[in-house]
Amino acid sequence: MEKQKQESKDWYNVQKSEFLVFKPKGGTVGTVPTVYLYGTELKRTSQFKYLGHWVTEDLSEGVDIERERRSMANFYTCSLWVRHSASTLNTLRVQYNNAFRMLMGLPRYCSASGMLTEARTDGFHAILRKRAASLMRRVCASPNSLLRVVASRLDGPFQYHWLKLHVR
């Protein structure tokens, strides 16, 4: 039994462990008790990075979109963006278009839709829709029964977000 306790202690690094409390939409969190792991008090955080995606206490994607805007990497986690402001997303769209112009050697004020059409390249919103559709297909086809339940809920947030992206 003692060996089992020691092995379970090796699973978690208390120096690297933190905890996050999600805030209710439009609300605040009351008193939060101290959280301990193996007798060590854990630090409370307001955001953390999980599989390349920033999770925040208010579940907004502003931090993750800003990270993506700064890196302009590959929209790796964009299919997870659900709660964000239009201005945050618009800032990323403008940067995407400007970066494309620069790569193509085009003037700053040329038409974004024209340059993307001529280059036969997806625009910003098409990329977001395709990434969301890809995630939807993978979740629906998953052998994981919990994921299939989430995908089958027509009144759930997953379906609502997907429809919002594809029906305008």
* pLDDT for 168: 55
Reference 140, options 155, 157, 127, 159; nearest CA is 159
pTM higher than 0.75: no
**Are residue 110 and residue 145 in the same domain, yes or no?**
yes
Q: How many domains does the chain have?
A: 2
* pLDDT for 133: 84
**Are residue 56 and residue 68 in the same domain, yes or no?**
yes
| Position 80, amino acid | L
Q: Among residues 14, 29, 45, which one ends one of the domains?
A: 45
Mind listing the pLDDT tens digit of every residue in the chain (168 residues)? 565 555 556 678 888 899 999 998 888 888 999 999 989 999 999 999 888 888 999 888 888 888 777 776 577 778 878 777 888 889 889 988 998 898 899 998 899 999 999 999 999 989 988 888 888 888 888 899 888 887 777 777 777 777 777 665
Phi, psi values for residue 120, rounded to 5°:
55, 50
State the residue range of the domain holding 119. 46-166
Report yes or no: 7 and 16 within 8 Å, Cβ to Cβ: no
Q: How many CA atoms lie within 13 A of 1 on its CB side?
A: 0
